[in-house]
Chain A
């Protein structure tokens, strides 16, 4: 058995709900730390940023599933829905933290959404994720059929918007948002027909059954 096969059979024993549990525990832990002063004297900013970054990491993880399988044979497909929903969860609590604890007034929230490009861009990303979250269930997959796959490609622009939102927010030329945007663009580029097809010939053993 190759490395990929051993990895895949080990992963098969890990249930997908661990992703939800991990996300929930992390979110709770961050909030608890903020409430108890462990995140420094500006906890709202720290929580907001931690949740936003978690969402971006999960977007990157979700986008990595398909290329990983295609290029290395490592199969994490069974976690992809959970990764996507956990990502949506973090975007939602990021947004909630911003609106409730940071901006603190609905009129100012709205003013920011229409007036501040980085917030407009972030909100656009959130709106694109909404239908994906709503249709992340077996019933929707069955009902929508091939349209489901088309619909869930909205994750691509959403990921770009998320990273651009981060890049637009920071002061100065900072490395982290640039690396994140770069990773997302690379992961999307790996899906371009020319690149994706050239590696199609190499089948990954034991993959199809678990999809």
Chain B
């Protein structure tokens, strides 16, 4: 179901790029929570200004193209994104290979301006275009036995210079609990600023889970599998103490190697002030109920 979540209170949902560059959008955790439940005006609104296109598309972690922040922008042009299909299998009624164009015909693309928080302590604000993952999963028909969703990134040694070395185990895999996957905030993004998704940002379609660290938002997806067991995830396999399955943004749970209490907003220059990390990256109102009663330190 599209448009289940709104973060814009005064403007149209889709803004042409020139206008985009000049505006600020009013959003806030409280505002979003109220919008979700269909009530009134924001209690604690704040302005969220999207990062510039160049920042979003030149500073990336996409290790399949190299570990340097500039490597994806340099090498991701090698990736063939047409044709593209996504295999949806496992506990679904209609398993199969879904062509990207066929998916797009069925989905309602909307604009979502989200905070994006990397585990490395940098943050951005990205104006995504995409559709709710829930809609895609419903298209394939989720069976009642399914409890988790597993995702897999393309693995193409000829097109991905970074996979020649085992930086982590390839292919990149990720996973969500089914209720996380069906949450209205969980997006399959297919564009930024109204343009098609750049390869370095995970073309042609990628996940965006704004309350979790960035590596959960898996790029260039080729497979989605519904399962009843918790799927393995790439960074968790590399270092389970450092990268949990849930990976919710949480200022109280440090990465063992660094504090997560603060973050840097990208694009603020040499003297950018550090800002405090927000619980669930500022989406506490929307998602805290998913984790009620859970030990968020143990299940980090």
Contact = CB atoms under 8 A, between A and B. Distances in A.
A171 B52 CA distance: 26
A108 B259 contact: yes
Centre residue among B120, B257, B273 by max chain A CB count within 10 A: B257
Given A42-B69, A112-B259, A175 B165 contact: yes
Contacts, number: 65
Interface residues of B, number: 31
B252 interface: no
Interface in A75-111: 101, 103-105, 108, 111
A41 B55 contact: yes
Interface in B267-300: 267, 269-274
A168 B239 CA distance: 12
Given A41-B55, A172-B168, A104 B273 contact: yes
A170 B67 contact: yes
B290 to A, nearest CB: 27
A172 B58 contact: no
Given A41-B55, A42-B59, A172 B257 contact: no
A175 B71 CA distance: 15
Nearest to A104: B274
A173 B259 contact: no
A175 B186 CA distance: 34
A174 interface: yes
B59 A41 contact: yes
14 contacts: A41-B51, A41-B266, A42-B59, A42-B264, A44-B264, A45-B122, A104-B274, A108-B262, A111-B259, A171-B120, A172-B63, A172-B67, A172-B168, A174-B167
Interface of B: 51-52, 54-55, 58-59, 63, 67, 69-70, 120, 122, 165-168, 235, 238, 257-259, 262, 264, 266-267, 269-274
